[in-house]
Structure 1
Amino acid sequence: MAQKSWLKLTLLATALTLGACSTLTETINSSQNKQQQQKREFTILAVNDIYNIEGTDAGKSGGMARLRTLRQQLSTGDENVLLLHAGDFLFPSSMSSQYKGAQMIDLMNQLDGRESGFDERFYVTFGNHEFDKSAKKYGPMLAKRIEESDFYWLGTNVILEKSASNNSAGFSKSLLSNALTTINGVKVGLFSITTDMAIPEYAAIDNNYLAVARKNISSLKAQGAEVVVALTHLRISEDAELLRQLGEDGPDVIFGGHEHNRQHICVAAGKRTPCVIKADADIRSATVAKVSISPQGAVDVSHRYSIVEESTIASDKAVAERTRQWIKRYEQEYCDKHRQEPGCLLKVIGKTDVDLIAEELEIRRYETNLGAAIADTMISAFDDIKLDRKVQIALINSGSLRLNQNIPAGSELNNWYINGIFQYPVSIRLIEMTGKQLRQTIAHSIEDWTGNGWWLQSAGLAFRHNVKEGSFSELSLVDQGGNITPVRDDDVIVAAVSDYIADPGNGDQDGYTMLNLDKEIVYGEALIDLKARVTDTIKAKWAKGEAISPMLPGRVCSSDRATLPCVLN
C-alpha cells in the first residue's frame, strides 16, 4: 500500500513537472511568436549629388562634417541606420580637378566616425559625373578610387573593363552587382541603376533599365529579401516609369540622384504605392526614411527631409578638421604649382551684390545671370581688338561652367570660385556663322532638355523656349542698344564661341557638329583665355571699390518661367 502511494505521488510529481515544462515551453513559444509578429523597422539616410566636401553657400549649408553629425543623431549603435548615396561625388569640383576625387573618398570613409575599418552600412552608386574622366587611360584612376573606399559601390548595370578593375581583395569587397544585408532582423536587398548619359571608354552601361531591375529584384527576393531598395541615378521621370512598368513586382522604394532638388513621386502599383525620393544636392537636405514591416510582411516607407545647415546641424569636429586639412593642402599645392603667393586661392579679388546662379540644373536649363554675364564678357573681350565687323553674339556650352553651386549675395569672390567655374581651359574662337547654322545650334541647345551640358549660355541673341513642346521661336539678334532683329537663314553673323564647341578637333563638340572653323576670324597670335578675362573683369571692378551685380537679362524666355524678364515681350 505504501509502495502504491509512493508510485502515485511519483506519477503526480512527474505530471506536474511535465505540465510545468509544457507551460514554460508554451510561454517561450508564445513570446517568440509575439516577437515575430511585432512590427520591425529601420532607418535609411539618403543623399545624392555631393560635389564639395566643405559644403556650399560659403560653407553655411551641407558639408560632410554635418552629414556625419546627422548620421550619428539618427543612429543607435549604427545598427539600424543604412546610409545611401545615389551618385555624383568624384567630379566635378575645384579640388577634384587636382585630386581626381581622392578627397571625397577620404571624407566619405570618415562618415562612420572611425579612422579605419569597413563601413558595412554605407552603399553608393555611380553617377554620370563619376565618368567625367572618360578616356581609357583613366580607368585605373577609377579603380583606385574604388579600392580606397571603405564602403560598398553598387554597379548593377555598370560593367567595367579590365583597365578599370582590380583583383585585390579590397576592390572585390567594395564593388557589388547587388547586395543583401540584414538590419534589425530585416533582410534588405539593394540594387542600382546608373544613367547612360555618360559612357566612358573603359565601361559599358546596360540601358535596358527595366530588364536590369526585374532580374535583380527577382534574384534578391529569391535570396530572401523582405524589402527591396533601388539606388538610382536617373531622371525622376525614368524612375517613375520604372515603378509603373514593374508594378507589384517593383522595388519598395527608390532613392535617386541626378536632379538636384528635393522631390518625390509615388506611383500606384496594384495594392502598393512605392515612391522615388530625392534630396537636394550638396547635402543642402538629406532624406530620412523610416521603413517598417508589418507582421504580415507588408512594407511601409515614410520619409522626411532634414535641412542641413549651420543653424540646424553642428559639424562633427573630427570630420570638419579632416576637411580643413584637405582645403589647406589644396591651397598650398595650387599656389606653389602656379607660383603665386601663399593664400592665393582665398585671396579676395572681388565681391558680388547679388546671388550668382551657377547650380548645375539651373545653368544647364535656363539663362542665368552668371552664365549670361560670362557670355557678355566673351563679346566685350573684343572691344579693344580691331576687327572688320563687330562681334554680335557669344555662345558657351554650360558644361564648361562647372561650379555647380550658387554664390550668395554679399560673398567675397576669390580664385577658389573662379577655379570651380572654369575647371577646364576655355578659349574663345571667333567665327562667321549663318542664320541657318544659328537656328540649328539653338535647336541642339534645347534638345533633350533635362540639364545636359550642351545647353548654351549666350549673349547678343534672344528666343522663346517652349519647354513643354521642346521648341523655340522668335530667334532674334539683340544689340547693345537693345534693338531686336529677327534672324534670317542667310544672315552672316560674327560669333564668339567657346573653343570646345567650335572646333571639330575637340571630339563630339557636345553635339554642335553644325559649327566648324571654316570661317574662323583670326584675331591674334593666341586665343583669349576666358577664365583670365572674367577674373580681370572682377578685379577691375574691385579695384574701384565696386562689386559685380549682373542682372538676369531675359534674352532666353522660358515658357515655364513666364514671370521673369523677357526682352521679346
Structure 2
Amino acid sequence: MKQRPKGDEKIDFTFLQLNDVYEIAPIQGGAFGGMARVATLYKELLKENPNTMLFLAGDFLNPSLLGTLKIDGERVRGKQMVEVMNAMNFDLVAFGNHEFDLSQKDLQKRLNESTFPWVSANVKLKTKEAAMPFYKDKEGEKEYVGETFIKDISDADGTTIKIGFISVCIPSNPKDYVEYANMFVKARASYAYLKDKVDVIFGLTHVKINHDRKIAQLIPDLPLIMGGHEHTNKYEKIGDVTIAKADANAKSVYVHKISFDKKTKKTTVQSELKEINASIEPNIEVDKVVQKWQSVLNRQIKEVIAKPNEVIFNAKVPLDGRDTTIRSQQTNLGEIITAAMSFAFNGNVDAALVNGGSIRIDDQLYGNITAVDIFKVLPYGGAILKVELTGELLKRVLDYGKLAKGTGAYLQRHNISLQNNRWLVNGKSIEPNKKYTVAFSDYLLKGYDIPFLSNTNPNVLSVYTPTIEEFGYDIRKSVAEYLKYINN
C-alpha cells in the first residue's frame, strides 16, 4: 500500500463484501465459490492494506445441505458456517431473513458460538414481556447485538477515524420469537444516532434492491450500501450512494477501496466485483475447517449415492429453485424433480406432485451438476410414494396447492396442467370418480402442508412405499438417476 504523507488527514481502507452464502465449499463442481478461497483473497487484501474489513450482508445460517445433517442426533443448523466464519475473522455480519429459519434455540446456539459481531436495527428478540436485542450468552453474561456498529481505524501516518454502520433486514420471515420494526424508520434513526459520533457511515443491509434504493434516497449521505437478499450481483448509483450486492454462495465478492478526507469529509468508493474461482488457492487454515465438514457430508451422502461428486448432468439453462418462484409457479427444476418421481416407477403413474417447500436450495443450478447438488436441492430426502386416489381428492389437492401460492404447500407437478380453470391429467379433465395413480413425496402424505391429505383419507385407495433397492426409496436418488438418463 502506498503510504500517504504525514498529516494529510486522508485515510484509505478496504471492505470485502459477501452476501447470501450457504455453502462453505466450492460449488458447481469446484468451479466457483469456497470460503477458503475468499479467506485467501482477504489475506492478500490485508497485506495490501491492514485496514481491510470483512463483511457478510445476511443469509448464511440456512439453507444448506450440511445444516440439515444430523450429528449425534442433532441437526447442524448452520454450526458449520459459524465455525468457518470464526476462522476467517469477520469484522461484522448482518441478520438476513434466512437466519430466522432456525428455531430460537438453534439461533441462540449459533449466536453464542460466533466470535464475530452482529448488527441490526430492526430485528429484535420477542419475549413475553417485551422485545429486546438479540444477544450472545458468554458464560452467563449477555452481549447484546447493537442497532449500530462503530469501528475505529488509523493509518501509518497517524490519521484516525471512526466508521459507523447501519443495518436493517427485510421482514419476510415472520416468526413467533422475532419482532420486526419498520426498516426505513430504523435506518433513518440509526443514521441520526451515529452522524455526530462518527466520521462516515455505511450501510450493511439485507433487503430487496428497491428497498436499498429507498434507503439511499432517504439517507443521501451514505457513500455505500453493502446489500444482500438478491442472489445475483448488482451495482447501482442512487445520487451519490453506491449500492452493491455480490453473487450468492461466494461466486463473487465485492472489493470496495475507500478513501476518506477528514478535512473535506469527502468519501470516494471504488468497487470491483471479484469472481471467486479455481484460480484462487484455498487458505490452509480455513480449508481444514471446510474439509472437516465436507468429510461428514460425503459420508452421509454415500449412504444413498456411491459417487457424490460425479457430474451427472450439464444444465445449459439455469434450473430455478429459488424460493420465490418454486413456491409460486411451475419451474424447470420442479418439472425435473416430478418427472424423476414418475421415472422412479418406470412412468407407470398418471402424474407426480411435490411440495415446493421440499426444495430448499433457494438458488438456480447451472453448468455441471453432481449428486451433491441434488442433495442441496432436496436435503431432507424421503421416499416417493405410489398412491392410488380418487379424482375428487386429486382435484381438491391441486386446488389447495394453487391457493397456497407463495408458501411451501404450493405444488410442483408432472403431467398435470391447468387450462381455463380445469385441471388436466395427461391432457384430459380429471373425472371425480376415476382412480388415478400419482407419485407423491412422502412428506405430502403426512398431512403437514395439506391437512386432509393422508393415508387415513377414505379417498386414498392404496399407498405403495418402495424398498431400499428401488430408486423411489429416496427422492434424491431418483432425481440423480433421472438426470443421468436424460443426459445420455
- Shorter-chain TM range is 0.7 to 0.9
- What is the percentage of aligned positions where both structures have the same residue? 26
User: Tell me, which stretches of 5 or more residues in structure 1 are unaligned?
Assistant: 1-30, 113-118, 464-472, 551-569
Q: Distance in 2 between matches of 1:323 and 1:182?
A: 31
Stretch deviating more after TM superposition (369-378 or 185-194): 369-378
Rate the CA distance shift 1:94–1:434 in 2: closer, same or farther, 3 A.
closer
Q: Which residue does 2:157 correspond to in 1?
A: none
Rate the CA distance shift 1:181–1:398 in 2: closer, same or farther, 3 A.
same
Say whether the 8 Å CA contact 2:417–2:425 is kept in structure 1: no
Rate the CA distance shift 1:232–1:347 in 2: closer, same or farther, 3 A.
closer
SS in 2 for 1:194: coil
Match of residue 126, structure 1, among 89, 95, 103: 95
Rate the CA distance shift 1:522–1:308 in 2: closer, same or farther, 3 A.
same
Q: Which residue does 1:192 correspond to in 2?
A: 167
Determine whether 1:101 maps to 2:74. Answer: no
Say whether the 8 Å CA contact 2:322–2:364 is kept in structure 1: no
Say whether the 8 Å CA contact 2:231–2:363 is kept in structure 1: no
Rate the CA distance shift 1:520–1:92 in 2: closer, same or farther, 3 A.
farther
Q: Which residue does 1:524 correspond to in 2?
A: 463
SS in 2 for 1:258: coil
SS in 2 for 1:187: strand
Q: Distance in 2 between matches of 1:64 and 1:287?
A: 14
What is the CA deviation profile of residues 60-101 of structure 1, one whole-angstrom value per residue up to 9, with x for unaligned ones? Answer: 211011111111222247631121101111111121112221
Deviation, structure 1 residue 478: 6.0
Match of residue 372, structure 1, among 319, 335, 345: 335
Query: TM-score under structure 1 normalisation?
Result: 0.68
User: For 1:151-550, what aligned pairs fall within 5 Å after superposition?
Assistant: 151-161=116-126, 165=135, 167-168=137-138, 172-173=142-143, 175-184=145-154, 185-206=160-181, 208-222=182-196, 224-244=197-217, 246-248=218-220, 251-268=222-239, 273-294=240-261, 295-311=263-279, 313-332=280-299, 334=300, 340=303, 346-347=307-308, 351-355=312-316, 357-360=319-322, 363=326, 367-379=330-342, 391-392=350-351, 394-404=352-362, 409=367, 411=369, 413-414=370-371, 416-425=372-381, 432=392, 438=398, 441-442=401-402, 444-445=404-405, 456-462=411-417, 480=426, 483=427, 498=441, 505-506=447-448, 509=449, 520-524=459-463, 532=473, 534-537=475-478, 547-549=485-487
Q: Distance in 2 between matches of 1:129 and 1:417?
A: 20
What is the identity, as a one-letter code, of the residue corresponding to 1:286? V
Rate the CA distance shift 1:123–1:60 in 2: closer, same or farther, 3 A.
same
Aligned length: 456
Q: Distance in 2 between matches of 1:461 and 1:360?
A: 21
What is the identity, as a one-letter code, of the residue corresponding to 1:319? V
Deviation, structure 1 residue 159: 1.5
Q: Distance in 2 between matches of 1:204 and 1:253?
A: 27
What is the identity, as a one-letter code, of the residue corresponding to 1:360? R
Deviation, structure 1 residue 425: 4.8
Say whether the 8 Å CA contact 1:396–1:497 is kept in structure 2: yes
What is the CA deviation profile of residues 17-76 of structure 1, one whole-angstrom value per residue up to 9, with x for unaligned ones? Answer: xxxxxxxxxxxxxx97x623xx43321111111111112111221101111111122224
Rate the CA distance shift 1:369–1:233 in 2: closer, same or farther, 3 A.
same
Rate the CA distance shift 1:309–1:165 in 2: closer, same or farther, 3 A.
same
User: For 1:43-58, what aligned pairs fall within 5 Å after superposition?
Assistant: 43-58=14-29
What is the CA deviation profile of residues 192-237 of structure 1, one whole-angstrom value per residue up to 9, with x for unaligned ones? Answer: 212222133333222x111111211111113x22222222211112
Rate the CA distance shift 1:172–1:292 in 2: closer, same or farther, 3 A.
farther
SS in 1 for 2:203: strand
Determine whether 1:65 maps to 2:36. Answer: yes
Query: TM-score under structure 2 normalisation?
Result: 0.78
SS in 2 for 1:218: helix
Say whether the 8 Å CA contact 1:50–1:89 is kept in structure 2: yes
Q: Distance in 2 between matches of 1:234 and 1:489?
A: 46
Rate the CA distance shift 1:345–1:254 in 2: closer, same or farther, 3 A.
farther
Larger strand proportion of the pair: 2
Higher relative contact order (CA 8 A, sep 6+): 2
Larger helix proportion of the pair: 1
Q: Distance in 2 between matches of 1:197 and 1:358?
A: 20
Q: Distance in 2 between matches of 1:346 and 1:204?
A: 44
What is the identity, as a one-letter code, of the residue corresponding to 2:379? Q
Q: Distance in 2 between matches of 1:525 and 1:128?
A: 38
Deviation, structure 1 residue 479: 5.3
What is the identity, as a one-letter code, of the residue corresponding to 1:421? V
Stretch deviating more after TM superposition (230-239 or 525-534): 525-534
Q: Distance in 2 between matches of 1:541 and 1:384?
A: 11
What is the identity, as a one-letter code, of the residue corresponding to 1:283? A
SS in 2 for 1:95: helix
Q: Distance in 1 between matches of 2:99 and 2:116?
A: 16
What is the identity, as a one-letter code, of the residue corresponding to 1:352? F
SS in 1 for 2:168: strand
What is the identity, as a one-letter code, of the residue corresponding to 2:95? F
Q: Distance in 2 between matches of 1:68 and 1:345?
A: 31
Q: Distance in 1 between matches of 2:296 and 2:38?
A: 22
Q: Distance in 2 between matches of 1:370 and 1:155?
A: 34
Q: Distance in 2 between matches of 1:324 and 1:434?
A: 46
What is the CA deviation profile of residues 367-426 of structure 1, one whole-angstrom value per residue up to 9, with x for unaligned ones? Answer: 4433211122345566787xxxx745x443333112355555555x43x33432222355
Rate the CA distance shift 1:539–1:404 in 2: closer, same or farther, 3 A.
closer
Q: Distance in 2 between matches of 1:541 and 1:107?
A: 34
The CA RMSD over aligned residues, in Å, is 4.0
Q: Which residue does 1:146 correspond to in 2?
A: 111
Q: Distance in 2 between matches of 1:547 and 1:491?
A: 35
User: Tell me, which stretches of 5 or more residues in structure 2 are unaligned?
Assistant: 70-75, 129-133, 155-159
Say whether the 8 Å CA contact 1:422–1:531 is kept in structure 2: no
What is the identity, as a one-letter code, of the residue corresponding to 1:109? N
Q: Distance in 1 between matches of 2:97 and 2:466?
A: 31
